[in-house]
Amino acid sequence: MLETFDGETCHDPWSGPKGDRIFSVMAGNWSPGQTTPIHDHLTWAVVGVCEGEERESIYRRTDDGSNPKRARLEVVGERINKKGHVTLLGRAGIHRIDNVSIAPSLSIHMYGLDIGTAERHSYDPVTGEVSKFVSGYCNVLRDEESD
Ligand SMILES: [Fe+2]
């Protein structure tokens, strides 16, 4: 059963037969105007919109990745995802999600690892800075940014 918080909510990761944490499921509950940083997951991701509308911007790196603290990004897609839309992202996927509507949105996110403990990256589109973060099982990164 999923717990409910404002922002993201994560189920305990599912374990494989050897105790490997093979995937995790998270509910994203975005308030109007709420946004994520540009971020990666470093694994596959499936995001399905259940309620409301979410703008999703998809990015790709245009640098060679040789500097772990800097990245150049370009937007390769932007769309409004409505109820029933499912996005599939590969391991190299980088995106940002915004609730641009006047109502809360709800989406279900599934990842190929324990997303709450995985070290991932956020990207500053202006400075090119790449930052490491671990999201935990609630909306830690976004909460810190809104303080
Ligand atoms: Fe994401």
* b/e map 118-139, b = 16+ CB within 10 Å: bebbbbebeeeebeeeebebbb
pTM for the model stands at 0.83
User: What's the 40 CA to ligand 1 centre distance in angstroms?
Assistant: 6
Q: 73-90 pLDDT, tens per residue?
A: 999 999 999 999 999 999
Distance 49 CA to ligand 1 centre (A): 13
* Domains, the chain: 2-139 (2.60.120.10)
pLDDT tens for 2-59 read 433 345 555 566 766 666 778 888 888 889 999 999 999 999 999 999 999 999 999 9
Cα of 41 vs centre of ligand 1, distance in Å, is: 6
In DSSP notation, 79-109 reads EEEETT-EEEE-TT-EEEEE--SSS-EEEEE
